[in-house]
Structure 1
């Protein structure tokens, strides 16, 4: 009888580690990505989570984190859609995969998360402060020269100067995006060429043609944007213009240059009004998020637990709302550009 109890005890001891291991493997915390206490996993793709966690470690400002989150969400959606296409054999030449890789590299470089030694957090508060300075300089010499011409012309009042500065900054962002894409394409060109066997030469040519066509589109877009700024400096703002947001003005100019009918332009104008409202709402939440962050830091120094709890709740709410609106604005902009560039709109989408 004693021998039976000994054997039972040994079996129980042996089973305990197995149960512990199973609990670790199948626990709710593991499956929901909260086993380490860091909260739910933000993205379904591992490399996107790594980028997100790195940005948090670098202590990006709340608004910049929200901007990065929007870009990563769009990247995630595109990559998940691509996986479905690949499973159905609809990306045989690898063109969509190559574009996804380029887009991901653009995100890394844009936020300086590409592993270079000069990578530093891009603090939105710093960028905003520098934008308000009268002495700030645009990186592109042609843009800086045009800006000096605008500010010394006497054509623009204070409100128009602020609006104009947003347009110039938007153009500078486009220049940066173009240069990042050009560098990425150049860096990966040899990889694509060497990775494809000689028997697939036609596929190689299609890939290279696609990459360079994308670059040309970006370059044309930058040129058109600069020409618009040059014309604006010469003529001043149209007082009858129905839009004030740079991205919306750009889309409206793009629509007017296309061969749309009057009815189609009216339909586009209505959608752009909704889009501008969405952008303004997003900008409002960005400002509120910045203020909430500053207030939260102040309350933390005071040590008032009740106020701290309330401010943390408000900050969390504003963070999520800013992320959500940022994603919607960028996705809407992406969709509008794609549809307008084709020279027509699906009016069921309006």
Structure 2
């Protein structure tokens, strides 16, 4: 409990919320995602965290506004539909979003047809409750969007004894529903229990569809750290950072600097500043110089960054030049790295 109070922060909470950062994951979801131990009962620290961050009278685990995590810092593991066996029976659970009706569809992908129509035949399953924290579904017995049963292969109908309602869905609107590979369908009740909650699956799908647009809005409308607008002729950005210890300055501080140079070697702009910090370091100064310089560039810039910090170069290949990994959230400067990733995106 003491550890949670002392070390509570973004790098910890970001691993325990849904991808959009607005809701705390249930303990069942955390176990399935292997972010907590799969043994024992719900521990006291999670109960303490729940009482601390979840908004009062919120049965859906929505966190209070002051604890909402930006989606650029959350952990999202998105799996796409397996199309290696096109035109063959290859059942896999999926969730889709219809942009026209703003509705979700959970079902079992039966066959994928990538050619011409780029779509999949999917059976329709309905959530047994309006509570997004649950994961129980029942086979739809027929609805307005279903294709005529006569147009479905009889061989498929024999293999899908529980399903009665089928429809075609675009592959681009589908992702895999987070669940175990082998999920048992109760043939007597035509019901199934998937591993992850419906709320988590919805958040994962919406994150996949709309996070890039949200990053674009964020980087162009708000939260800019630089008021400098460099020209598109910048070809090289020289960055440097340093830690100013207490004796040489009134308080421990960081100082950063960068210089923008064009292809002919002329200096277009130089900038430096001091950043007071409770936990200053030379590496953090260097990363901030990089971040400030990137934020000063116009869109679609292609530049070379020059630095003498070997540690920054090694971390760049781990956290920016590679797919997102949860390990980044344990890095002391993970917020700066996440901001750099967002600007580059």
TM-score of the two chains, using structure 2 as the length reference: 0.21
Higher helix share: 1
Please tell me whether Structure 1 or Structure 2 has the larger radius of gyration of its CA atoms. 1
Q: Which has the higher strand share?
A: 2
